[in-house]
Amino acid sequence: MSDPEGLPSLEQRVKAHLHCLYPHEDIPALSRRCLDAFGQAPDSPTPSSHRNNWSAGSAMLITYGDTVRRDNEAPLHTLTEFCKAHFTGMISTVHVLPFFPYSSDDGFAVMDYTTVNPSLGQWEDLTELSRHFMVMTDLVINHCSSRSLWFENFKACREPGRRYFIEVSPDEDVRAVVRPRTSPLLRAVETVEGEKHVWCTFSHDQVDLDFSNPDVLLEFIGIMKLYMDRGMRWFRLDAVAFLWKVLGTPSINLPETHEIIRLLRLLIEHRDPEAVVITETNIPNQENLTYFGNANEAHMIYNFSLPPLLLHAMISGNCQHLKHWLMTMPPAQQGTAYLNFIASHDGIGLRPVEGLLTDEELDRMIATLVASGARISSRTGLTGEVRPYEINISLWNAMARTEASGDQDGLQFARFICAHAVMMALEGVPAFYIHSLLATENDEARVEHTGVNRSINRHVWNADELDELLETETHHRDVFTALRRLLAIRTKQSAFHPNATQYTLHLGDGLFAFWRQSIDRRQSVFAIHNISGQAQVFNLSELNLIMTDEWTDLVSGQTFEDRMKPVTLKPYAFIWLSNRR
């Protein structure tokens, strides 16, 4: 059966995806099981694939469920009240990092996908948050905890779980496998059938799931239905690039992985046309871009090259690499968008700048950040060499010094705000890690307690202490106030729609500048940022301003009437020059 416009029915499209994945299975029966697991009618209409579920007012907050805590109160309730008080009208989507029972990795080793960690709250708390904001949940899809029921069943050789994991002989050559860790790929485990070796892309507590078994896919389809029933509409597919494995290959970005993403998007969109799929693929830029597919895979991809390139520009005072990268980035098709971020719960990944920064440039940046308290995490390369993989540091501390200054120069605040201004102005949806909005410092005590480098940027705030800091004269209050003000300005500009036109401007290596134009072409914004520690001068005549329009800086309110007069920007100052306010 086809829909009235002649497009294939949902069931027909599901069958096509399943046939690519499981050609030897009973595809009609497997298709019915998929649709039943998702509670979806087989003849439901096909939604538009070119619908934009975002606007100029879209912005995301990234946070753990317990980043802000109050005694005798469920942290998810505290988070909801904090967001309502501070972000209503400014943040559209809240990404609550894994809120399930877990055994390690701050939630990313999931023991039970169907329940909320009791220490955080309950499903009703998340449903309440979804009444005020769109809520994004993680689908930790590549692996689960070694303490999960599924893995316990694997060891006991019973269902569900007996065939959910990837067994590999220790004699197999797995050197071709690409992964972001230095630990051995295979973990030995005792089962009722004797010792077996299972595949662990990440830690040995995070055991990879075997999606070549369609029962694993069906489990996650049912999990997605549960999340949507509870009010979740945005899905972050965690570590999805590693999903499908084939021995003798790198086992990353395989065609079957893309096929599964297309299938999941198809199901989610049919359930709710406003639902969004975001892929978390911390890999080189050209590989990352493939997860848009033909506007039929991820609605959004993380702009993973932005954090290290922008940080390099701010620390080196030279935006040459950042500018070159921006010039090579394709505009997102309708129905897709970039998710821009410069800090997250993880560190600053370095794989996305492979081929963009030289080893010498990378070494200088790392040395500067280590002087500000950074920890460096590594991975093992294909030839066995250990290479830097991730920089672990709070973004506030990362902006403490530059390569030129060598020490703190009193410009940390200005650098920090300028970097966020760049992120807000770029094509795409801006995403703010809560610790960046709060200008949280390195949490050395947490690193010592956990032994995990990433803990340096995962501080837990006492809500009452935080409220006091945000109302007194502290750098936390100053940053919070400045970023909220910029965000309030940004959300009102049609030229900052995530899909509005963007062109790179060439005003020298010290000025990172680009032009944005609204989809209806009525508003232009020239976003010009001094990313250096020296004053920078440019001429308005270089911008091709429309002579009949009045041009005003959206940030300061200053009007520019003399089009021939040079403009001087102090270190890390910026303007958003617009013909409409």
Catalytic residue annotation? 238
CA dihedral 139, 35, 246, 169 (to 10 degrees): 80
Q: At 194, phi and psi to the nearest 5?
A: 105, -175
Are 470 and 477 a contacting pair, CB within 8 Å?
yes
Which helix (H) or strand (E) segment holds residue 60: the answer is: strand 60-63
Say what angle helices 214-229 and 255-271 make with each other, to 10 degrees.
Answer: 30
DSSP track, 434-484: HHHHTTPPP-HHHHHHH--GGGGG---EEHHHHHHHTTSSSHHHHHHHHHH
Helix, strand, coil share (%) of the chain residues, nearest 5: 35, 20, 45
Q: Roughly what angle, to the nearest 10 degrees, separates helices 306-316 and 412-425?
A: 140
465 close to 422: Cβ distance less than 8 angstroms: no
Identify the helix (H) or strand (E) that includes residue 561.
Answer: none
Residue (of 486, 484, 480, 482) closest to 467 by Cα position = 480
Phi and psi for 373 in degrees, rounded to 5?
100, 10
- Contact criterion met (CB below 8 Å) for 533 and 317: yes
Dist CA 7 CA 166 (whole Å):
37
Say whether the peptide bond before residue 160 is cis (omega within 30 degrees of 0). yes
Let me know the angle formed at the C-alpha of 271 by 265 and 275, rounded to the nearest 5 degrees: 55
In contact, 270 and 10? CB cutoff 8 Å = yes
Contact indicator for 541, 564 with CB cutoff of 8 Å: yes
The rounded distance, in Å, linking the Cα atoms of 235 and 278 is: 6
* Cα radius of gyration rounded to whole Å, the chain: 24
The whole-angstrom separation of Cα 464 and Cα 108 is 28
Would you say 251 and 245 are in contact if contact means Cβ atoms under 8 Å apart? yes
Q: Which residues contact 358 (CB under 8 A, 6 or more apart)?
A: none
DSSP tag of 325: H
Helix/strand/coil for 113: coil
3-state secondary structure of 41: coil
**Tokens of residue 552, six digits:** 């005003």
Which runs of E-coded beta strand occur in 200-263?
A: 206-208, 234-237
Strand runs (DSSP E) across 269-374, as ranges? 276-279, 300-302, 337-340, 348-349
